[in-house]
Every structure is written in C-alpha cells, then in structure tokens.
Amino acid sequence: MAPLHQRAAEICSLLERAGAGPFEVGTAPDGVAGASGPGFSLSGGGATERHAAETLVRRLLRAEQDNESLCSEILVRYEEATLVHRLSQALSMIAGEKAIARIALEDAVHTLGARTGEMWLVGDAAVALASVVPGEDFEAAELCEQGPLAALREGRPWIREASPAGEAVIAVPIPGPQAPLGVVVLRGHASGRAFRTSEVKLLATLCCLVSSFIGIERLAQSRRLTASRETRGDLVREVQRCLLPAHGPRVEGLDVAASSLAGNPLGADHYAWLTLANGDLSVVVAGDAGKGIAAALRMAAVQGVFRAEATRASSAQDLLRRVRSGLASALEEQQRAGAFVARLGLAERVLEYANAGHGPPLLLRRDGRSERLDASGPPLGIPGPDEPAGARVDFGPGDVLLIFSDGLAAARGPAEPFGTKRLIEIVRSCGAASAAEIRERVLTALREHTLGAVPEDDVTLVVVRRTPRAGEEEERP
C-alpha cells in the first residue's frame, strides 16, 4: 500500500475533478498526526470544504487499512485452515517416525510463524529429539526444560508469554493411548508477540494428527517385526524338525522316546542317536544358549559332527572331545552350548557318559533310588583346562535315564517351577511303563502345571529305559 500522504493526494485529486478545492497535501511521518490527520496534512480551499475533504480522506484511508488488515487475516486463517488437510496428505505418503516428525514440524513452524521448533518423542528407554527446525544437529539433545517436561508429563499445553527477558514459547503434548507420545515445542514468534490461543489450539490439532500417524507407523513396525519373527520362527522349527530323529532307535534291550517343545522365544535344543556296529547306542543331547536360526544352525553342526565321529570315538569322553573340536569354528567367542553324550553298552549293561555344561540328567534305579549325572566340564565354546571327565555307571533292566533341558525343570506354574522332584515322582509312579508312556505322562503333567501356556524356554526330554534282552528278566528290588 502506498504511503498515506500519497493516497491522500490521489483522493484530493479526485475531489478537485468534482469541483472541490484546490487542495495541497503535505507529508507527516506514518502514524504521526499531521495538521489534518495521521500521515498527511491538508491545506487550501475553504474551511468547510477543507474540513469535509479531510473527513472523507480519513475515512477512505481507514477503510483501506481495514480492508488490507482483513485480507491479511483471511490469508492467515486460510493457511491455518488448510494446514490439517495439507499435512494429512503429506504424512500419508511417508513412512518412519522421524520423517513424520520433520514434515509436521516444518509445517507447524511455517504456518504459526515460529522462529524455531522441536518435536520430542517418547521411545522405549527415554525421550529423544525426533526433529528440529531449522537444521537437525541434535545427536546429544536432551529435554530438560521444566515447562516442556510438564506438558509431556501432565498432557496439557504449557505457555510462556513474550517478555523483555525472553521470547514466547509454547509446548503442546502429542496425545497417546495411555500417556503422551511426545511434545512439540515452538519458540519465538516472528512478530515478537506471544502465541495466540487460536494458534495453541491449532498446534494441538496438529499434534493429534501426528499422534495418529505415529501410532499407525508404530503398529505397522510392530507387525513387520512380528511377521519377521514368525518367518524366522517357522524357519527355526523347520530346521529343528529336519534335525530331530523321526522315530526312536530300534535296539534290543533299549526303549527310547523323546520330544522337544519349542519355547517362546524359540531356542535351539537338539537330540540325536546312532546305533554302533557292536550294538551299543550313542546319544547326544545339546542346547544352545542363543536363540533363533543361528543357534539352530549351530545345533545342525552338532549333529553333523556327532554322526561323523560317533563310530570312530573310543568312549563317550572321546566323542565329546571330538564334538568340541569339530564345533570350535562354529562357535564364536562368548557363544556356548551345553552337551551331554552317552554311550549305552548293552553287553556290559553300563551307561558311559560325559557332560559338558548340560543340565544334569537323572538316572532312576529300579529300586527307587535316583542319581544325578552332573557336568564335569565347561560348555562347548568355553575353553577349559581339561576335557570333561567321563564316567561309567551300571544300567540294568528296569533302570530309566532321563535327559532333559533346563526348560523342563524351570517351567513355571502359577506358584513355582516344575522342578526335578516332581519329575522323579511322576516317573516313579509310572512303574514298568514304556518310555513313550513315561514321556507322555511327564508332558501331560507339564501342561497342567503351566496351565497350557507356551514354555519360556525349549523343553526337551529324552527317556531311555533298559529292558530285558532275550533270556534276561527285569530285576525287581
């Protein structure tokens, strides 16, 4: 708009064409009263005529100023009214919390005339700066101001008026299902004034919009992770299914049954057996401390080494040494796997074993006694001064060997873990039942104990019952 005295001169020129005047228009600083009005002075013509001209010029100038102010206000209101629609379209085309934060914050700062803006989001561990305008150098930024913190904590806007001591600041929380997802902080209005109530309400509307898109993004991310875990879980189950024996060994004098239940998260328990040329049976049960497909593949390596070396090993201790050596390259530093290796000699009626960090199996005697076969060396992958010492114990008709993972004894019910004492009582109550019947009795009791819940760790159970061979009779106490 032209200076006031120029607009006054143009208006007086029109009056002169209508027969008034002539008039002379002088200047005065804008906003400062001249002889006739703000920004201009008027002389010439008769007193009445000049007064009428002055009144008309002032009214016309005031109307022009009001129109200009109204047009500016309409433009501002239009910009604010289209913010939500424009931002919705923009956010629907992007993915990622930081991208959502950046676009929303840039629009808020521009539309509301702020000097700078920040968006903070609540993560898993802390509140982190998701975006800042202008620029994004915020690697070590922390939200430590009491006002924005109060807005985030209490879930309501916080406002600081502009003053000589500091610029205006508003902090508006981003609403969430239970607690705010974050907070938007705008600092310093471009005009130097305070933020208006209407602007705070508009920012609150924007924060609701941001909340919706961040909620959708987090849900999508959660579903992507779930789908990824399910895919990996299916792969782990398939690897385990392919590795585990399809049926028990067919060895006269031995009744063997086994089962492995996948926990949550999926672990990598494993068992295998191999009948040797002399009729003895070699058994390995192992459990990787890791989870997922990598652990399952390490268990595949355990089976490969076991099958390759079982026929050449001279004893259970020798076989475990060979397994440890064969896995040296497959186990990285700090990775470990417990392993129990047994060799069941039928001719001598003995159980020869070596235990490298595996949970101690139980040997239940036909006379009711029970023995623990404790570990005598570190798990695979953990260097030790010596190989686990081998041991030999009698294993006669009626004796039952239980090899099980930690997940069985540690499976929690409403009040307590399943425990080995409960396991022993169940097996003793089975009497002369087969290995398969013992296994099913134990698993049924486990499901009842945990109320049918998925175990927190894999549950592996191998039951070996020594039965009479041809010409033998099962001894009774």
> Token pair for residue 179?
């607690």
- Alpha-carbon distance of 324 to 302, in angstroms, equals 9
Q: In what order do the strands lie in the sheet with 127-133?
A: 127-133, 114-122, 182-189, 169-174, 158-160
- Alpha-carbon distance of 395 to 401, in angstroms, equals 9
Find out whether 353 and 316 touch, Cβ atoms under 8 Å. Answer: yes
Number of H helices, E strands in the chain: 11, 17
Lowest mean pLDDT among 179-183, 356-360, 456-460, 469-473: 469-473
pLDDT interval class at 269 (50, 70, 90):
confident
For the chain, the structural domain boundaries read 4-80, 95-219, 244-466
Q: Find, among 385, 312, 333, 387, the residue nearest to 356 by Cα.
A: 387
| pLDDT in the model for residue 183 | 93
Q: What is the mean pLDDT of residues 426-454?
A: 91
Question: Angle at Cα 99 formed by Cα 98 and Cα 104, nearest 5°?
Answer: 100
pLDDT at 244 over 80: no
Q: How many residues does the chain have?
A: 477
The domain defined by 95-219 folds into Beta-Lactamase (3.30.450)
- Alpha-carbon distance of 301 to 286, in angstroms, equals 11
Q: What is the mean pLDDT of residues 23-30?
A: 62
Listing DSSP states for 378-422 in one string gives PPBTS--SSPPPPEEEE--TT-EEEEE-HHHHH-B-SSSB--HHH
Q: What is the mean pLDDT of residues 304-329?
A: 84
| pLDDT in the model for residue 238 | 66
pLDDT at 30 over 50: no
Listing DSSP states for 224-283 in one string gives HHHHHHHHHHHHHHHHHHHHS-SS----TTEEEEEEEE--SS---EEEEEEE-TTS-EEE
- Alpha-carbon distance of 466 to 363, in angstroms, equals 11
Strand partners, 26: 41
Which superfamily is assigned to 244-466 in CATH?
Answer: PPM-type phosphatase domain (3.60.40.10)
Identify whether 134 is preceded by a cis peptide bond (ω within 30 of 0): yes
Share of the chain above pLDDT 70, in %: 71
- Alpha-carbon distance of 288 to 381, in angstroms, equals 10
Listing DSSP states for 320-374 in one string gives HHHHHHHTTTTSPTT--EEEEEEEEETTTTEEEEEEESPPPPEEE-TTS-EEE--
| pLDDT in the model for residue 402 | 96
Q: What is the mean pLDDT of residues 427-432?
A: 92
- Alpha-carbon distance of 215 to 247, in angstroms, equals 49
Contacts of 464 by beta carbon, 8 Å cutoff, 6+ apart: 254, 255, 256, 283, 342, 344, 400, 401, 403, 435
Q: What is the mean pLDDT of residues 237-250?
A: 74
Give the other-Cβ count within 10 Å of 474's Cβ: 13
Q: What is the mean pLDDT of residues 202-226?
A: 79
Q: Is-same-fold flag (95-219; 244-466)?
A: no
Listing DSSP states for 184-207 in one string gives EEEEEETTSSPPPHHHHHHHHHHH
pLDDT interval class at 352 (50, 70, 90):
very high
pLDDT interval class at 412 (50, 70, 90):
confident
- Give me the phi and psi of 368, to 5 degrees please: 100, -15
More confident residue, 455 or 252: 252
Burial bucket for residue 146 (CB in 10 Å: 0-12, 13-18, 19+): exposed
Q: Is 117 left (phi over 0), alpha (psi -120 to 50) or beta?
A: beta
pTM of the model: 0.54
In angstroms, how far is CA 109 from the centroid of its own chain? Answer: 31
Q: SS3 for 157-173, per residue?
A: CEEECCECCECCEEEEE
- Alpha-carbon distance of 25 to 16, in angstroms, equals 12
